[in-house]
Amino acid sequence: MGMKIRLRYLVFILMLLSIISLVLTMAVVFRPVEIFSPNGFTRNVASTNQDASTQPRVSYSLEDVFRPTRFIISYENKGKMTSDSTIIASVNNDLIGKFKDISKKEILSQEGYEQLVLRDSYSQLLFDAPVTFGVMTRYFNDVPDEYKQETFSRIIYRYDDQKNVYFINDYTKQVFQAKTDQDIQLELSKYHDDAKFHLVESYILKNKQIFIEVNNLSLEKQTYLMEQIPMSFYITQLFANPSELRNRSDGQSIIYNDNLSQLKMDRSTNVISYYQNRVDDEHLTTTVHLQQSFAQMKKLGGWKLGMSFSDFDNDRKIVEYMRYVGTYPILSNAKEGLSQFIITATGIEKMRVSSLIAETPIPLKNESVNLMSGKELMDQILGKGIALDTLEDIRLGYAWQLSRESNQIVEFVPNWFIKVDHKWKTLQEVLLPTLEQGGDNDGF
């Protein structure tokens, strides 16, 4: 009898070990990304005929990336704002095909701008950066060619005008108008949710009017397993003949190059930078810059938790995208959330992306973080003698922070961030003497 029990026990153990072995084998075959180990990186090599590590990793649409990120509504005579990703996505989808008959209006004075944004508006949708009408054609039944390169960063619905919607570029103060047949106030008021909208106050900064959550906030720290996209992915995507590449290491970086291009990974930041010597004088419109950089970001970015177009430098032709973790962007000053592209008619000239990604949540390690109110933040800023017209933006975001428990775990810690001289900083960093980041941390 005892022998039978032991035999059954051994059979059970063998079956359990077989199942574990099968699971681990599948993980190695079907999850070909580099995962951190205590001794560095361990690469899982796929054994399939077509290496999945060389395939594009994300499936964003233009609607997912060129989108509003904040929604403000007047409710019970108070301004309230949400950044909730689910609400924003629903509003973004509801705008498809709702506008027609675009016309270009005046450039507002500062007084006229504040009147429209602060006193006349019933509801607003804010974008992270000015977008072209040519990229946002989905909102309209038709966009004439003369408007496709025009830009806006804010959509405004007015109290006293149910038939029109207004598009304004916060930086130039240029206004555009389009017609709509929808009942605006009824359509937008259905999204109000007390738990997700926060009371806000408005402040005028260097270039634009912003809205700050007034009351104390408690936001959740998000925790994820951190992984790394292997260099083989970038090599396969960027080089036609990988077998012809030369590689070297200078201690700080790993470098691959051929006669025209160079691919580099900074060992300390895990930032991937790419350069190809392209002689191309063909002029690209702003819309084409955005569309083609989007295609490359989608192909090479690898970040699945949310992305948003965040800037276009018209002089240097740099297009920037910001990583999101659901509702809020990653804004820490090491720029883990930043992706940059310079595009020509024939492809990428320069690129900067982080090879680090986070896909697997660890919800048991999440915890609430209590933040100071926006009012207290502004009191501290003004109390330190910082002039608001030197600040470019203020908003909630995440800092990318490694867990103290393991370098395999990344924590996205909520905080207030202030944009000064094109760089996002915490209040503490703003108050410190300027620190030179240098290297890849400064992007291009």
Q: Cα separation of 301 and 359, whole Å? A: 13
pLDDT above 90: residue 77: no
pTM of the model: 0.86
Q: Cα separation of 318 and 329, whole Å? A: 19
pLDDT higher at 413 or 278 = 413
Whole-number average pLDDT of the chain: 87
Give me the pLDDT at residue 12, please.
61
Question: What residue spans define the domains of the chain?
Answer: 62-214, 223-360
Average pLDDT estimate for 67-74: 96
Give me the pLDDT at residue 135, please.
98
Average pLDDT estimate for 370-388: 96
Beta strand 261-266 with 253-257: parallel, antiparallel or unpaired?
antiparallel
Per-residue pLDDT band for 53 (boundaries 50, 70, 90) equals low
3-state SS, 342-368, equals EEECCEEEEEEEECEEEEEECHHHCEE
416 three-class SS: strand
223-360 carries CATH number 3.30.43.10? no
- What residues contact 53, with CB distance under 8 A and at least 6 apart? 32, 33, 46, 229, 230, 232, 233
Q: Cα separation of 351 and 264, whole Å? A: 10
Q: Would you give the DSSP letter of residue 10?
A: H
Label residues 41-74 b or e (16+ Cβ within 10 Å = b): eeebebeeeeeebbeebbebebebbbbbbbbbbb
